Amino acid sequence: MIKIIFAFLVAVILFGGVSYKLLHTTTINSVSRLKKTAGQLMKTPSSPTQIQKSISSLSIEAMRVKSYPGSAVSIEQTLTPASNYSRYVVSYMSEGLKIYGLLTVPTGQKPQNGWPVILFNHGYIPPASYSTVSSYNVMVAPIASARFIVFMPDYRGNGNSEGTPTQPYITPDYVTDSMNALASIEKYKDADPQKIGVFGHSMGGNISLHELVMTHDIKAAELMAGVVGNESDLANWWSHRYAVHSIVGNDLDTYYVFEKMIQDNGIPANNPTYWNAIDPTKFIGLINAPVQIQVGSADEEVPITFSSSLKDTLSQSGKVVDYHLYPEANHNLAPDIYPAMQTCVAFFKKYLQ
């Protein structure tokens, strides 16, 4: 009997040891993956101190004082023209990286000071699947046909652009690429640098909102189904998407880094000093351009409350805001994308032509 009890105790100890080892190994592997992802995307070793230093570049003040020199816009490929505008694949430089983009230029008699410009910030598409030529045609074409120059930067790591793809919620890279695109198109020979608007869809709405609080060179802004919630909204959004397994690939990498930010700094409610500093919705007072917001009530990708809350914040701050909600329209404003784009074009014409 004593031998049986002794054997049982040995078995329990051995099983407990194996279980601890498996659990401990799993935990280490999970943390290791998170740190590896954070280290790769932030381009720094994964120690908390070094990640913190890199993340601090997300502060609005740091982004406002940063230099965005842009470069000359170089034509890489001439595409088949549309009825009243030419189309090109072009490139420009951003932090030493060659970034590609789509450029459309109206044909016909150019205004004395050049054509008005729309800087087009596209939304999230898996970077390897993004196409300079074909992505976002349904939104680009109506603006280009209305006799605006349209400049849509690909961002780094998207399509053929150099660099590593990231997202604007965890690094300033895409905002930097778009700001350098803005500086580049301001120098373009056919552009009127005094009449530049910005269009942002989905993730591009987040980039555009950053730009609105960073520069006064933008004279009108369209935010369509934008990721324009505050940092608490974004934290809840990422957590929900992860919980329902709706994110993979580059999106999943972004989630791990965002979670690392929360681990290091606490949730927004507990550390407003850190999170408010990187939140463009806390700098609405700096905006001086009129803003049009359009969103569909059936959007299952981005909460429509992001857009309605931003509308309220802009309105309460005395800003010019034009809000349109399309019943039953999805994240891409279908089936109402054509009237939505007509509304967008009318808005840009009002303030830029």
What are the pLDDT digits (tens) for 84-125? Answer: 999 999 999 999 999 999 999 999 999 999 999 999 999 999
In the predicted structure, residue 334 carries a pLDDT above the cut 70: yes
Q: Do residues 33 and 150 share a domain?
A: no
As a whole number, mean pLDDT of residues 77-82 equals 98
Whole-number Å distance between alpha carbons of 321 and 312: 9
Assess whether 120 and 157 both reside in one domain: yes
Which range among 42-46, 134-138, 262-266 shows the weakest confidence by mean pLDDT?
A: 42-46
**Residue 14 falls within a domain, yes or no?**
yes
34 in any annotated domain: yes
Structure confidence at residue 9 (pLDDT): 40
Q: Whole-angstrom Cα distance, residue 260 to residue 62?
A: 21
User: Which residue range forms the structural domain that includes residue 347?
Assistant: 59-352
| pLDDT (0 to 100) of residue 55 | 52
The pLDDT of 180-194, averaged and rounded, is 98
pLDDT band at 141 (very low <50, low <70, confident <90, very high): very high
208 shares a domain with 87: yes
- CA 292, CA 284: separation in Å to the nearest integer? 14
Which of 97, 96, 89, 68 lies closest to 134 in space, CA to CA? Answer: 89
Q: Assign 32 a pLDDT band (cuts: 50, 70, 90).
A: very low
Assess if residue 156 is contained within a domain: yes
Number of folded domains in the chain? 2
* 54, part of any domain: no
25 with 131, same domain: the answer is no
Give the bridge partners for 75, in sequence order. 90
What's the average model confidence in pLDDT over 67-74?
98
pLDDT for residue 332 is more than 50:
yes
CATH number assigned to the domain comprising residue 240 = 3.40.50.1820
pTM for the complete prediction? 0.86
Only one residue has tokens 């998407």, namely 241
Asked if residue 282 and residue 319 are part of one domain, the reply reads: yes
Question: Looking at the structure, do residues 19 and 130 belong to the same domain, yes or no?
Answer: no
Please give the structure tokens belonging to residue 43. 């381009």
Query: What phi and psi values does residue 2 have, to the nearest 5 degrees?
Result: -65, -40
Q: What percent of the chain has pLDDT over 70?
A: 84
Q: Is 329 domain-assigned?
A: yes
Q: Are residues 17 and 83 part of one domain?
A: no
Note whether residue 207 is domain-resident.
yes
Together in a domain, 36 and 78: no
